[in-house]
């Protein structure tokens, strides 16, 4: 079993829809949680970063962490065709190492 699981998609939604992307994990020591967006043939770019539990909002993006369920989510409101990309979750433990564990990524297509 992988430490971080992510549905690969593809996920297709109409423009303007609310998108929910999710990751589950097995290591309860993870404390830092991140979401990256990756366009085709480009490097990943950081979208959101959350420490421990709770919500964080940035414009149309909201990241949620539920440590009791070992589940993190990224919500995209009013989705746009420009949001079409692969979204990767990543996480790491608090101390002793600075290794990040990534999900496999979910491919999102927003249809105009």
Measured from the CB atom, is 17 or 49 closer to other proteins?
49
DSSP string, 32-92: EEEEEEE-TTS--EEEEEEESSEEEEETTEEEEEETTTTEEEEEESS--GGG-EEEEEEEE
Pairing of strands 71-76, 85-93: unpaired
CB of 15 to other proteins, least distance (A): 27
How far is the C-alpha of 50 from the C-alpha of 54, rounded, in Å?
8
Closest CA to 74 of 14, 6, 2, 26: 6
CB of 38 to other proteins, least distance (A): 8
Q: Footprint of other proteins on residues 10-29 (CB under 8 A)?
A: none
Q: Is 37 left (phi over 0), alpha (psi -120 to 50) or beta?
A: beta
Q: Does 102 bind other proteins (CB under 8 A)?
A: yes
Measured from the CB atom, is 14 or 41 closer to other proteins?
41
Q: Footprint of other proteins on residues 48-87 (CB under 8 A)?
A: 49, 51
Measured from the CB atom, is 70 or 107 closer to other proteins?
107
- Candidates 14, 40, 41, 69: give the one binding other proteins (CB under 8 A): 41
Binding site for other proteins (CB under 8 A): 6, 8, 32, 34, 36, 41-46, 49, 51, 88, 90, 92, 97-105
């Amino acid at each position: 079993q992988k430490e971080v699981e992510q549905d690969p998609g593809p996920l297709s939604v109409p423009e303007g829809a609310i998108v929910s992307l999710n990751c589950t994990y097995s290591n309860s020591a993870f404390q830092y949680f991140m979401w990256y967006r990756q366009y085709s043939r480009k490097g990943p770019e950081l979208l959101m970063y959350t420490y421990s539990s709770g919500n964080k909002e940035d414009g149309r993006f909201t990241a949620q962490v539920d440590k009791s369920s070992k589940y993190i989510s990224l919500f995209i409101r009013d989705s746009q065709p420009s949001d079409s990309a692969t979204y990767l979750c990543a996480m790491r433990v608090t101390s002793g190492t600075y290794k990040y564990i990534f999900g496999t990524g979910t491919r999102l297509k927003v249809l105009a």
